Structure 1
């Protein structure tokens, strides 16, 4: 009876994790989908597995973050709000 109401996450098999890794790397997927898949990998994998994945796929992950940052930057600069511009300056200074 306790298993029925438990909140433990079901085990995701190696095949599912491998497919999710492939979806993160797939450049034909949209940025938001790839970001969502990366977040699910972060939630599912151990730190050691994540480090191995990030080391083997760093260029795809960097591209994903770069494109998302570029998109956010263009949205912020279009808004012409003083607060948005201050946030953008803060983020760019932080990245430098």
Structure 2
């Protein structure tokens, strides 16, 4: 590849890399915890700062009774500033 920026696509023949089978096997043998709190503890043990604090979030959610409900979407309203493509059909835009 040259020094200029290029886009890289999956299965691009210009950048094919051969990975040894023993490295693949070692990678697949690594078991990660499904609980994010355990992952954060491991990061802190290795002097790395986790991006989130799930333990604090869980305690706060239990204390406040917060559930992970999606926010309701706002209904779009038509104003005078709205560009109408079907201006010849005003009955479509009446409330």
Higher relative contact order (CA 8 A, sep 6+): 1
Instruction: State which structure, 1 or 2, has the greater radius of gyration over its C-alpha atoms.
Output: 2
